[in-house]
Amino acid sequence: MTNITLSTRGATAPASPIRALAALARAQADAGVTVHYLNIGQPDVATPEPIVQAYRDFDDTVLAYAPSDGYPALRTKLAAWYTGVGGLSRTVHADDIVVTTGGSEALLFAMTAVTDPGDAIIVCEPYYTNYSGYAHMLGIDTVPVTSTAACDWQVDAAAIEAAITPKTKAIVLPTPGNPTGRVLTHEELAAITDICVRHGLFFICDEVYRELVYKGPRGSRAPSLLDVEAADELAIVIDSASKRWSACGARMGWLVTRNTQVREASLRFGQARLSPATVDQYAVQAALDIPADWYDDMVDEYRHRRDVLVQALRDEGLDVTTPHGAFYLAVPLPVEDADAFCRWLVSEFTLDNETVCLAPLSGFYATDGAGRNEVRMTYVLNAPTLKRCAQILGAALQAWPAATPAPA
Ligand SMILES: Cc1ncc(COP(=O)(O)O)c(C=O)c1O
């Protein structure tokens, strides 16, 4: 084979730092080591029975394509759900929704609808690393604004405004945040909206963890950009079945926008890939009947896990801020190179034949060299396992200096 080459985009696509250590972890597991996976956001919370039952009940004689933007029945029910269990104050219409293959495809559609190659989006680092993956595919730049643990991972609206250039087309922010757990207030969403209005930018607000907030009474939800009236023309909200219903494998998501041009562009992208999955849409329809209590119990469980993990890490002498939402912790470690530490931890270190797989945080930053000593941990496993993981990490940190090769 001669003269056959990948595109530059294909050849230089970044590997996801979330999955980077998977092969090393698998090798350890094959060798009989118990590996605790705190590197990916795959909850162990049981998928609610109505969802599982919907798959069992599926009995169409043909597994057909669905409409490119999703079944109208699903979009209608979703729209009503937003102002019901979803807790929104403002109405969403079925036609504001495009059903996608996970929130991931919703992100891809949103970013593709509002940028051209050479354009830029502003992100607040550390940020959900797959924003970079899509930016790379689309040939656009991610321009970072940095947040820090010392400031409780606050988003600085003035810094966002200062980062805008003529190439900027959108601000992309998750709330609650991955990997920081940051939850934006209604006022913060409104302030960023104001910047977008003044500079003619879209605001892609990634709300896939909206129920997972730990302050406030049962039933609290993270404020939504859909409740900010001034954002109606520029808001694209990303949503998903994955986390709220512990249904990552359903690969069901959707975007919500009141901007008809964005909706129509997304629909055309949807037509190019023909249809979102069929059976999974029935499953999401069933999920929309899950009572509010179920969410409250899930949030209580994650809050408990968060508290146990934060305390256990502090007991190991680590300086950890308490996240307010989602199920991630960004943790600074007393090491210089968290990438090397995580590789060593999962491939060489064991405590009573157990080890932990973590995600190095450097890949969640766009600034070169940032986050080099930080890792992301997920609290998606049960509380005793999380406590054990903290002990393993503590023991590994004690052993690490000895394991580091002496400088040449
Ligand atoms: C912030 C954020 N947005 C979007 C997604 C995409 O999720 P999915 O494609 O499973 O809906 C994830 C997954 O981890 C996420 O953390």
Q: Which residues line ligand 1 (CB under 6 A)?
A: 41, 102-104, 128, 174, 178, 206, 208, 240, 242, 248, 253
Report the C-alpha gap between 44 and 40 in whole angstroms: 11
Report the C-alpha gap between 375 and 172 in whole angstroms: 22
Strands 252-256 and 235-240: antiparallel
Q: Which atom of ligand 1 is nearest to the CA of 18?
A: 14
Its pTM stands at 0.94
* DSSP secondary structure letters along 63-99: -PPPPTT--HHHHHHHHHHHHTTT--SS---GGGEEE
Alpha-carbon distances of 111 from 93, 228, 337, rounded to whole Å: 22, 21, 32
Strands 374-378 and 359-360: antiparallel
Which element (helix H / strand E) includes 237? strand 235-240
Instruction: Give the residue among 306, 350, 335, 319 at the shortest CA–CA distance from 401.
Output: 335
Give the closest residue (by CA) to ligand 1 atom 13.
41
Q: Which atom of ligand 1 is nearest to the CA of 105?
A: 9
Paired residues of 296 in beta bridges: none
Q: Where are the alpha helices (DSSP H) in 316-372?
A: 338-347
Calculate how far, in angstroms, residue 302's C-alpha sits from the geometric centre of ligand 1.
Answer: 17
Cβ 357 vs Cβ 396: under 8 Å: no
Q: Which atom of ligand 1 is nearest to the CA of 177?
A: 1
pLDDT of residue 41: 85
Give the closest residue (by CA) to ligand 1 atom 16.
178
147-151, 274-278, 306-310, 393-397: the lowest-pLDDT one: 147-151
pLDDT of residue 2: 74
Calculate how far, in angstroms, residue 248's C-alpha sits from the geometric centre of ligand 1.
Answer: 9
Confidence of residue 404 (pLDDT cuts 50, 70, 90): low
Kindly tell me if the per-residue pLDDT of 371 is higher than 60: yes
Q: Which atom of ligand 1 is nearest to the CA of 178?
A: 1
Calculate how far, in angstroms, residue 109's C-alpha sits from the geometric centre of ligand 1.
Answer: 14
Calculate how far, in angstroms, residue 281's C-alpha sits from the geometric centre of ligand 1.
Answer: 18
Calculate how far, in angstroms, residue 161's C-alpha sits from the geometric centre of ligand 1.
Answer: 26
Kindly tell me if the per-residue pLDDT of 18 is higher than 80: no
Residue pLDDT, tens place only, 102-124: 999 999 999 999 999 999 999 99
Calculate how far, in angstroms, residue 208's C-alpha sits from the geometric centre of ligand 1.
Answer: 7
Task: Give the pLDDT mean for 32-56.
Answer: 94
Q: Which atom of ligand 1 is nearest to the CA of 101?
A: 9
Please state the φ and ψ torsions of residue 208, each to the nearest 5 degrees: -70, -15
Tokens read off for 284: 């999401």
Cβ 278 vs Cβ 309: under 8 Å: no
Confidence of residue 408 (pLDDT cuts 50, 70, 90): very low
Calculate how far, in angstroms, residue 127's C-alpha sits from the geometric centre of ligand 1.
Answer: 12
Calculate how far, in angstroms, residue 170's C-alpha sits from the geometric centre of ligand 1.
Answer: 18
Kindly tell me if the per-residue pLDDT of 403 is higher than 90: no
Calculate how far, in angstroms, residue 219's C-alpha sits from the geometric centre of ligand 1.
Answer: 22
Q: Which atom of ligand 1 is nearest to the CA of 252?
A: 11
Query: Exposure of 215 by Cβ count < 10 A (0-12 exposed, 13-18 middle, 19+ buried)?
Result: exposed
Cβ 176 vs Cβ 222: under 8 Å: yes
Report the C-alpha gap between 39 and 339 in whole angstroms: 12
Would you state the torsion angle of the CA atoms of residues 171, 331, 241, 67, taken in this order, to the nearest 10 degrees? 40
Pocket test for ligand 1, best of 47, 178, 376 (most atoms within 8 A of CB): 178
Tokens read off for 53: 């039952």
Give the closest residue (by CA) to ligand 1 atom 14.
41
Paired residues of 369 in beta bridges: none
Residue pLDDT, tens place only, 193-247: 999 999 999 999 999 999 999 999 999 999 999 999 999 999 999 999 999 999 9
Name residues whose C-beta falls within 8 Å of residue 89's C-beta, 6 or more positions apart in sequence.
83, 227
Calculate how far, in angstroms, residue 107's C-alpha sits from the geometric centre of ligand 1.
Answer: 9
Instruction: Give the residue among 298, 316, 293, 334 at the shortest CA–CA distance from 393.
Output: 316
Cβ 46 vs Cβ 256: under 8 Å: no
pLDDT of residue 405: 59
Instruction: Give the residue among 346, 309, 316 at the shortest CA–CA distance from 333.
Output: 316
Q: Which atom of ligand 1 is nearest to the CA of 240?
A: 11
| Domains of the chain, start order | 9-46+293-400 (3.90.1150.10), 50-290 (3.40.640.10)
pLDDT of residue 330: 94
pLDDT of residue 407: 54
Tokens read off for 61: 């004689």
Report the C-alpha gap between 70 and 108 in whole angstroms: 17
Cβ 123 vs Cβ 142: under 8 Å: yes
